[in-house]
């Protein structure tokens, strides 16, 4: 006799996947040998556990072999910048921005952004990223491209003074536009949710950030902002406000009162970290971008110790330059350890959590864990590989994932139960067309900008 709950989940099951190993990334970080994952018709997980204990079902059963785990969550990116990837490499930061990046980006049209997003999304999906949080303009093109490719998207249309302020310095018109995008497009039951993204306090000033935060709070929307990325970016603001730190100024202005995800947080001091912890501000850690741009070392272990939710992110493809979160998994641990001369910091389980469940937590999404009720955003890794031998205990498998696993092992990807990558091929996008379009458009940007 099956009980009611079992019958309900069996009835809802659309397909059952079996795998050699299922890594759930749940509270216990369960490693299930010979596991089963049932996916419902609504694209959510109906049941997870050992195959031997699975409820009986009439649904098709597909034996995938390999390892199934939650898809990775990229919590800070500007993916259409694939169009300017590699340009001006090696220039100092301000020269790189003013002499190469901005002249080229200034010529972007929305169809360019569509193709830039499409190409980057193929790269993300193929490396096992199933959700991306995007801070960028051209939000309609970005949302459209993401939907077509089948990736989960948190679209945070950017607000930046240099582009969006009117003659009086107000960004209110752009804030109204972003609010309209939220009202029309925010869809937690689908693939796209919408947040608000003031670029930074140093660009916009405190008052504009507070105005945008109020609009986000009114809707319980995510506020996504660059914070304390470089050492001196906040100096002028602090000097104008009796030396108070930028996080303190933002907190005092009410910016941290809603749901906030700060990108970088490299130069948060002890007081700033206490303040973020108390306000529930999450931090998107971008170790490779911080290293490539010479920004510094974020104090991640101390943030985690204070209870701050720390997730992982690639940042834009012009400052990484790959859209491969597995690299972040390994580098985040390496950087924390070498900076503190302490090999006990950020263990394998912790960095994999940051790439999965902590990312979902930072974005407020029901993904990042293989558990009933969560979205079936999951990836299969081929562990029949030299990098995964030997395994004498489950912890070693997790260590292999963090230290020698990578995008090259990702063979299949599902978002909301839909398979978008099979056998390392992206099913949802014509990849060769995307490569051709981005190459052609990037050449136009280089030529017309004279850079």
Q: Which residues bind Zn ion (CB under 5 A)?
A: 315
Please identify, using beta-carbon distances, which residue of 145 and 263 lies nearer to Zn ion: 263
Give the nearest distance from C-beta 101 to Zn ion in angstroms.
Answer: 12
Please identify, using beta-carbon distances, which residue of 328 and 382 lies nearer to Zn ion: 328
When CB distances to Zn ion are compared, the closest residue is: 315
Give the nearest distance from C-beta 90 to Zn ion in angstroms.
Answer: 19
Give the nearest distance from C-beta 289 to Zn ion in angstroms.
Answer: 7
Please identify, using beta-carbon distances, which residue of 22 and 363 lies nearer to Zn ion: 363
Give the nearest distance from C-beta 334 to Zn ion in angstroms.
Answer: 21
Give the nearest distance from C-beta 92 to Zn ion in angstroms.
Answer: 18
Please identify, using beta-carbon distances, which residue of 68 and 81 lies nearer to Zn ion: 81
Give the nearest distance from C-beta 362 to Zn ion in angstroms.
Answer: 15
Please identify, using beta-carbon distances, which residue of 211 and 315 lies nearer to Zn ion: 315
Instruction: Give the 3-state DSSP-derived string for the chain, with helices as H, strands as E and coil as C.
Output: CCCHHHHHHHHHEEEEEEEEEEECCCCCCCEEEEEEEEEECCCEEEEEEEHHHCCCCCCCEEECCCEEEECEEEEEECHHHHHHCCCCCCCCHHHHHHHHHHHHHCCCCHHHHHHHHHHHHHHHHHCCEEEEEEEECCHHHHHHHHHHHCCEEEEEEEECHHHHCCCCCCCHHHHHHHHHHHHHHCCCCCCEEECEEECEHHHHCHHHHHHHHHHHHHCCCEEEEEECCCCCCCHHHHHHCCCCCHHHHHHHCCHHHCEEEEEECCCCCHHHHHHHHHHCCEEEECHHHHHHCCCCCCCHHHHHHCCCCEEECCCCCCCCCCCCHHHHHHHHHHHHHHHHCCCCCCCHHHHHHHHCHHHHHHHCCCCCCCCCCCECCEEEECCCCHHHCCCCCHHHHHHHHHHCCCHHHEEEEEECCEEEEECCEECCCCHHHHHHHHHHHHHHHHHHHCC
Please identify, using beta-carbon distances, which residue of 38 and 229 lies nearer to Zn ion: 229
């Amino acid at each position: 006799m099956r009980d009611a709950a079992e019958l309900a989940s069996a009835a809802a099951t659309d397909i059952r996947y079996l795998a050699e190993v299922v890594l759930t990334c749940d509270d216990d970080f369960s490693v299930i040998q010979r596991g089963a994952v049932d996916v419902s018709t609504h694209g959510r997980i109906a049941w997870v556990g050992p195959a031997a204990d699975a409820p009986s079902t009439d649904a098709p059963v597909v034996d995938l072999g390999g390892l199934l785990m939650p898809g990775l969550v990229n919590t800070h990116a500007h993916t259409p910048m694939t169009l300017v990837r590699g340009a001006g490499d090696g220039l100092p930061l301000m020269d790189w921005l003013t002499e190469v990046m901005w002249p080229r980006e200034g010529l972007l049209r929305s169809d360019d952004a569509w193709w830039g997003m499409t190409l980057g999304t193929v790269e993300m999906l193929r490396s096992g990223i199933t959700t991306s949080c995007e801070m960028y303009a051209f939000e309609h093109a970005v949302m459209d491209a993401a939907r077509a490719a089948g990736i989960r998207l948190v679209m945070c249309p950017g607000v930046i003074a240099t582009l969006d302020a009117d003659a009086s310095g107000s960004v209110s018109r752009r804030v109204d536009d972003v609010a309209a995008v939220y009202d029309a497009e925010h869809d937690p039951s689908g693939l796209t949710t919408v947040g608000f993204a003031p670029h930074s306090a140093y660009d916009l000033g405190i008052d504009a950030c507070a105005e945008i935060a109020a609009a986000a709070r009114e809707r319980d929307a995510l506020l996504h902002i660059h914070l304390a990325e470089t050492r001196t970016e906040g100096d002028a603001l602090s000097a104008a406000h009796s030396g108070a730190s930028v996080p303190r100024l933002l907190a005092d202005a009410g910016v941290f009162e809603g749901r906030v995800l700060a990108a970088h947080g490299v130069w948060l001091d002890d007081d700033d970290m206490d303040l973020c912890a108390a306000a529930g501000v999450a931090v998107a850690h971008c170790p490779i971008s911080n290293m490539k741009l010479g920004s510094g070392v974020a104090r991640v272990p101390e943030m985690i110790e204070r209870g701050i939710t720390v997730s992982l992110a690639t940042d834009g493809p012009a400052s990484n330059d790959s859209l491969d979160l597995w690299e972040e998994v390994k580098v985040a641990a390496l950087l924390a350890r070498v900076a503190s001369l302490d090999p006990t910091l950020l263990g394998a389980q912790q960095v994999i959590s940051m790439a999965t469940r902590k990312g979902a937590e930072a974005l407020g999404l029901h993904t990042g864990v293989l558990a009933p009720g969560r979205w079936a955003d999951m990836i299969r890794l081929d562990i029949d590989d030299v990098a995964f031998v030997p395994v004498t205990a489950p912890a070693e498998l997790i260590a292999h994932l963090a230290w020698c696993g990578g995008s090259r092992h990702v063979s299949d990807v599902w978002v909301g139960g839909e398979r978008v990558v099979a056998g390392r091929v992206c099913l949802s996008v014509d990849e060769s067309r995307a490569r051709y379009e981005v190459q052609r458009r990037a050449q136009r940007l280089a030529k017309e900008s004279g850079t």
